[in-house]
Amino acid sequence: MPSDLELLVTAAREAGKIARGFFKSDAQVWEKSDNAGPVTEADLAVNQMLERTLPTARPDYGWLSEETEDDTSRRNKSRVFVIDPIDGTRAFIAGSDTWAHSLAVVEDGRPVAAVVYLPMLDKMYTASRDVPAKLNGQEITVSGRTEISCATVLAAKPNFDQHHWHGDVPDVEPAFRSSLAYRLALVAEGRFDAMLTLRPTWEWDVAAGSLLVTQAGGAVTGRHNEEPVFNNAMPQLSGMVAAGPPVHKELIKALA
């Protein structure tokens, strides 16, 4: 029987095949209720495949996905799939290639297997509790930067509003990617020094990526420096701050 990580890798590659078939093809788009953002035919088709195949392979696991109505029975499961069929749907719609499939297995609230896959870039990020973070099979590590000054930080512009910070906003170099999962993967890869999101954050956006960062030697917490715990009744975290340990420490210290 394949390991959980092997199962996620196979599922992610199949998800990529499905999503590529809709990419730049005028896929139908709907707006979700409560200003929850757009969803496309591709999101739903990928979710349908994943919801059919993953629970079949692991019938005793719970299921949490952005595109599936929540089943609270997952709260009674030790292991749960936490899935975002397409993370970065706005990028997908815009024709950007930086959207990702984000797949994780969470055990007792902590991610234990994770895949973030960008099919248009052929980038397969993987990690498990017992295996270091890798990109296309090669081990990756977080940035070695030790100071916050001039650190490259992936975040949306509102995160740099003054009210989020003690004193002046840190002197960092901001950058942006639509997909939170990809932002975390880029930090794990060491291409950026940190990422942060300071508003309530859905678990499916960050479960896989958070394990990539920790298994690449980084630090990951909620915005208040708490350890992220997944499979909550309301599947949200306070936000997320991820970086190499020295930069993470300085970011947390600087946050109001």
Does 106 lie in the same domain as 81? yes
Is the same domain home to 116 and 195?
no
pLDDT score at 35: 64
In a domain, 144, yes or no: no
Residue 216 resides in a domain:
yes
Residue 145: inside a domain: no
Give the residues of the chain that fall short of pLDDT 70: 33-36
What CATH number is associated with residue 194? 3.40.190.80
Q: Which two tokens stand for residue 36?
A: 């929850």
Domain membership of residue 147 (yes or no) is: no
In sequence order, what are the beta bridge partners of 84?
Answer: 102
The string of pLDDT tens digits covering residues 159-176 is 999 999 998 999 999 999
Please tell me the predicted confidence (pLDDT) of residue 36. Answer: 66
Q: What is the largest CA-CA distance in the chain?
A: 54
In a domain, 141, yes or no: no
Tens of pLDDT, residue by residue over 47-64, are 999 999 999 999 999 999
Question: What amino acid occupies position 255?
Answer: L
User: Do 97 and 163 sit in the same domain of this protein?
Assistant: no
Same domain (yes/no): 40, 106: yes
Range of the domain at 22: 4-136
pLDDT at 131: 95
Is the domain of 131 the same as that of 156?
Answer: no
158 and 129 housed in the same domain: no
Q: Are 125 and 14 members of one domain?
A: yes
Q: Do the domain assignments include residue 143?
A: no
Per-residue model confidence (pLDDT) at position 33: 66
48 with 128, same domain?
yes
Number of domains forming the structure of the chain: 2
Pair 106, 11 in one domain = yes
CATH of the domain at 31: 3.30.540.10
Distance CA 240, CA 163 (A): 17
User: Do 45 and 167 share a domain, yes or no?
Assistant: no
In sequence order, which residues have a C-beta less than 8 Å from that of residue 192 and are 6 or more positions away? 143, 152, 153, 154, 175, 183, 186
